[in-house]
Amino acid sequence: MELHGVDISQGELAQALKRSPKSARFTRARAQQLPFISASFDAVLRHMALMLMSDHQGALKEVSRVLKSSGRFAAIVGADAPISDAQKFFIDCISGYARKEEYEDVSFRESNLRDPIVLRKLFLSHFANVSIDRIEVALLWSAQQAWDWFSSMYDLALRRIDSIQKVKARFLNLVGDNGLKHIVALQLIQATKH
């Protein structure tokens, strides 16, 4: 089996390289312009990336192009879930910090693909046998585990924060010693080439 990974970010590719079998190959490219010949893959997986892209149609069209006839596509995107106490505490801790100047205009195009109706319509315009399953992962965190999760997201890096340690101390203090429940909600979309 040959494994090819694609991302637009060199940093993400470097992380992937560390965790992958030696035989895996990685290429820096845009999902809307894949550097592969048509009908060359049996399957494509796209994990937590489609919803961040600016041209969803173009990104799916390319997957369909590189898949062999009856090839399979699976993608994971986020889903709506009630905001947890852990999230509320984290937002409370970072909301006073402004965006770094260079990131002021950065926006994550998350919103419309959280709606399964929009998602189905998008996939049906490029694929057959589209199924969408909601997956919920219920987590019970200690304060440190909750911090590790949220601090690994983009939010901290985008903001002008003088002392991350200060933000962390406030978060741990707000959470206290009780465990926190948090639900990660995702959508798994599976489809085949038309």
Ligand X SMILES: C[S@@+](CC[C@H](N)C(=O)[O-])C[C@H]1O[C@@H](n2cnc3c(N)ncnc32)[C@H](O)[C@@H]1O
Instruction: By CB under 6 A, name the binding residues for ligand X.
Output: 7-9, 12, 30-32, 47-49, 52-53
Q: Look-up: residue for tokens 């924060």?
A: 161
Other CB atoms within 10 Å distance of the CB of residue 191: 25
CB nearer to ligand X: give 9 or 112.
9
Q: Which is nearer to ligand X, 49 or 172 (CB)?
A: 49
Q: Residue 49 CB, nearest distance to ligand X (Å)? A: 3
Please tell me the distance from the alpha carbon of residue 19 to that of residue 189, in angstroms, as a whole number. 24
Measured from the CB atom, the residue of 135 and 169 that comes closer to ligand X is: 135
Q: Which residue has the tokens 């429940």?
A: 181
Query: Which residue, among 56, 73, 91, 63, has the nearest Cα to 170 in the 3D structure?
Result: 91
Residue in this structure with the two tokens 């390319």, named with its chain if needed: 62
For the bound state, the minimum distance from the C-beta of residue 12 to ligand X, rounded and expressed in Å, comes to: 4
Q: Of 32 and 142, which has the nearer Cβ to ligand X?
A: 32
Q: Residue 138: helix, strand or coil by DSSP?
A: strand
